[in-house]
Amino acid sequence: MRVTEVMSGNPVCCVPGTSAKKAAVLMRHFNTGVLVIVDDLERRKVLGILTDRDLCIRVLAANGDPEHMTVQECMTSHPVCCKAQEEIEPVMASMAVHKIRRVPVVNGANALEGLITDRDLLENAEIDPHALCVALGRIIASTKRSMDMDSVTAFP
Residue 34: closest CA among 4, 1, 71? 71
Structure confidence at residue 152 (pLDDT): 42
**If we measure between CA atoms, which residue out of 130, 134, 126 comes closest to residue 94?**
134
Task: Give the whole-angstrom CA distance, residue 80 versus residue 44.
Answer: 16
> The pTM is what?
0.81
Task: Report domain extents, the chain.
Answer: 3-152
Is the separation of the CB atoms in 104 and 79 below 8 Å? yes
Task: Please give the CATH architecture assigned to the domain spanning 3-152.
Answer: Roll (3.10)
Residue 104 identity (one-letter amino acid): P
Which tens digits make up the pLDDT trace of 95-134? 989 989 999 999 999 999 999 998 888 887 576 767 767 7
For residues 75 and 37, the answer to whether their CB atoms sit within 8 Å is yes
